[in-house]
Amino acid sequence: MSHPPRADVARTFESFRSVLRLICHTTGLNTATCEQTADDVTVLAQEGFLKAVDLQLFDEAGGHKLCAASFTVSEEASGRESHPPGYNLWPHTPRGRLETILTYTSTWMELPPEEKQRFESTLKTSWNPTELDTDHSDMNEVGERLYGSNGYGLHQRVYIAAPISYDEDEDDDHYEDEDE
């Protein structure tokens, strides 16, 4: 299968850029960093190196994931309706942390190390391996969107942290008298 035209990829990833801008704005995080991220992600997608992108917002302490958005690339999105951006009003977390996790295509993985290094030197951000989980099974999916152009698409799923629930049978204030 041939790679889609760069213009279609760029149009599709303008939607990603809009989503990322809105997330950075509503969270109070650094918008310049968001622009650099969007630039790099777009270039990677245009070269056919990007399989998926995952955004994860962590609280100020960094231990609790508040929101996440997964974007999966599809080169077979024809016949599906493109949506306007949505589900991106994330909580104001100016001291939080927004992590971007990239999943690369086999095309990228098969490149010789020197070609990867040459390409990476053109990017605005240093992309490093991560141990962050992109499964989000511990979160609630709240919506999805499709962005596309001429059969090239980007499928977005948005997640929020599951509310803390307490089992009514596990009442910490209840003590059973062992003598009874």
Residue 100: inside a domain, yes or no? yes
Q: Is 47 within the bounds of a domain?
A: yes
Looking at this protein, which amino acid is placed at residue 55?
L
Residue 173 lies in a domain: no
CB 98 within 8 A of CB 24: yes
Segment 29-77, tens digit of pLDDT: 988 899 999 999 999 999 999 999 999 999 988 789 999 999 999 877 5
Whole-model pTM?
0.84
Where in the sequence is the domain holding 89, given as residue range(s)?
6-127+136-161
176: in domain: no
Q: 49: which 2 tokens? A: 């190196």
Instruction: State residue 76's pLDDT score.
Output: 72
Q: Is residue 141 part of a domain?
A: yes
> Do residues 147 and 16 touch, judged by C-beta distance below 8 A?
yes
Helical residues (DSSP H) of 91-159, grouped into ranges: 106-109, 113-120
User: Taking Cα atoms as reference points, which of 152, 141, 118 lies closest to residue 2?
Assistant: 152
Give helix then strand counts, H and E, for the chain.
4, 5
Amino acid letter at 64? H
Please state the domain count of the chain: 1
Determine, yes or no, domain membership for 155.
yes
34: domain CATH number is: 3.30.900.10
Asked if residue 146 is part of any domain, the answer here is yes
Cα–Cα distances in Å, from 103 out to 70, 85, 87, 126? Answer: 11, 22, 22, 15
